[in-house]
Amino acid sequence: MVRIISIVGFLVAFASTLTVAAPSPVPVANTPELVSNIAEPVYSNTTLEKRATTYKGTATWFIPETEGGVWGACGPKESSSSKIVALNKSQYGNMSKKSKWCGKKIRITGPTGKSVTATINDACPGCKSGDLDLTPVLFKQIIGNMNKGVGKIKWVLI
Ligand SMILES: *[C@@H]1O[C@H](CO)[C@@H](O)[C@H](O)[C@H]1NC(C)=O
Ligand SMILES: *[C@@H]1O[C@H](CO)[C@@H](O)[C@H](O)[C@H]1NC(C)=O
Ligand SMILES: CC(=O)N[C@H]1CO[C@H](CO)[C@@H](O)[C@@H]1O
């Protein structure tokens, strides 16, 4: 009796693995919605590519309260002591919209090798691609001399 039940149980289990396993590989491989349900891998490819990219440019600094306003182009409020940066307009995209870069964390390394982490919260209309406009608190940390006004930086998404 025990043996019969276990064989039946085995067959049922076996049959259910067959019915579950057999059809699944085809739609999972081909349907984007299903792929994205697993663990956001649709974006991970792009993210990984971007993470690997090091951007190089010039850092400048700005005072949000008097230049551009306390509301970053991304939405959240910002001040001179916020750990935020403004991204070149060409990278940012349409300045009247929230960019896909908004809220992304980056690590910026200055000329002496000091680095800080910051969040992209604004757009810098006068910056070149790769350039970042930093708040004074960030600029002081990685460039040091505010009077210098500019400094070479590189940065990556983290
Ligand atoms: C994912 O990244 C790899 C390696 O960079 C690339 O060859 C592949 O085309 C990318 N796939 C998609 C869907 O972007
Ligand atoms: C930028 O976004 C605004 C608001 O959505 C839109 O009205 C405008 O046409 C866009 N500009 C461009 C160049 O796409
Ligand atoms: C607004 C602005 O200065 N955008 C610059 C961003 O970077 C590209 C590429 O270097 C420049 O062509 C744009 O002028």
| CA dihedral angle for residue 28, residue 33, residue 37, residue 40, rounded to 10 degrees | 110
Ligand 3, from 88, 124, 127, 133: best to mutate by most atoms within 8 Å of Cβ?
Answer: 88
pTM here is 0.63
| Assigned CATH topology for domain 53-157 | Barwin-like endoglucanases (2.40.40)
Sign of CA dihedral 66, 67, 68, 70: negative
Residue whose CA is at the smallest distance from ligand 3 atom 11: 128
Which of 128, 130, 127, 152 lies closest to 139, judged by CA? Answer: 152
Which residue's CA is the nearest one to ligand 1's atom 1? 45
Q: Give the model's pLDDT for residue 43.
A: 52
Inter-residue contact 105 to 89 (CB < 8 Å): no
More confident residue, 32 or 106: 106
Lowest mean pLDDT among 4-18, 113-127, 144-158: 4-18
Q: Which of 86, 149, 158 is nearest to 123 (CA)?
A: 86
For the chain, how long is the longest CA-to-CA vector? 89
At 35, the pLDDT band (50, 70, 90 cuts) reads very low
Distance 45 CA to ligand 1 centre (A): 6
- Does the beta carbon of 112 sit less than 6 angstroms from any atom of ligand 2? no
